Copies of this chain bind each other. A is one copy, B any other.
């Protein structure tokens, strides 16, 4: 899978896209605050400075899909045209840079470097979204959870063997992976019993990377 791109694509802002600094505003949100709503007018796009954001689609009857978890350096909201197709919510306290869409779009239209950087960003998110379709369409609960833990570990730079933060709730994880809270709990508990991971409410450690990888891509039958 590909996760590398999102965390590293804030670079152009400091080089070819210096113009972005000029239009950025800094905003903060507390835990569970709505940064923008599903269906709301897309007036800004955002880059995360600190904290974790979830993007959420809600069905009329309350079923929920968490499209992605976003971390410092990640951008969101730039692909909306007119209105947001999903809500963005703060998982914990977050600080963001916020860019007004008119100025942002104008910069992309004017600066070829900005446009191509933005295209790369969209392409990376598209590739990531397609990986997730395989997960949601064809993987078992154990594979989904193991893959999710691996992704979290890969996206959080830290010394190997140390704890990986799980800032989001079990419900968020369930709605991200197309499972229920109970299945997430049970599967995590089983992995702990098997010695693959250490587990606490808000973090985990990889005890046996090979076992976790095996679970993430188990060949069926």
Contact = CB atoms under 8 A, between A and B. Distances in A.
Contacts of A151: none
A25 interface: no
A122 B116 CA distance: 12
A81 to B, nearest CB: 6
A112 interface: yes
Contact of A137 (B65, B110, B124): B65
A67 interface: yes
Taking the full assembly, how many copies of this chain does it contain?
2
Interface string A96-119: 000000000000111010011011
Given A136-B137, A137-B177, A130 B67 contact: yes
Given A60-B219, A64-B138, A112-B109, A133 B129 contact: yes
A220 interface: yes
A218 B80 CA distance: 27
A127 interface: yes
Contacts of A120: 81
A57 B130 CA distance: 9
A64 B132 CA distance: 13
A96 B174 CA distance: 41
Interface in A42-57: 57
